[in-house]
Structure 1
Amino acid sequence: MDTAKIFTSGRSQAVRLPKEYRFEGKEVIVRHFGNGVILLPCDKPWDMLEAA
């Protein structure tokens, strides 16, 4: 299982993703999923889930 670093940036919390998890573009969709969070690309949010 891979991990990512969490840090504070101003008044927000940020996650530093490993390079193999990087997204294209400047924004992602954020959704709560149980006790966690899911990040999806804004342009084609469901493509990642369908490919899994």
Structure 2
Amino acid sequence: MELFAIEGEDFASVAEDTEYFRTGGLPQKYIVIEKVDKFVYCLNTVDGHNVIS
């Protein structure tokens, strides 16, 4: 899945965060939507678009 995002001055890029975590083993079906300390919230793009943490 190709991932495109728009980022503002005060916001981290969803695309950059997702690509970073994918290099560490994040499955392709997840998109990182928010980083909180050492945890991330992801959107599952395959199984009903569920938010997981």
**Higher share in strand:** 1
Asked which structure has the greater CA Rg, the reply is 1
Q: Same fold (TM over 0.5)?
A: no
TM-score of the pair, normalised by structure 1:
0.30
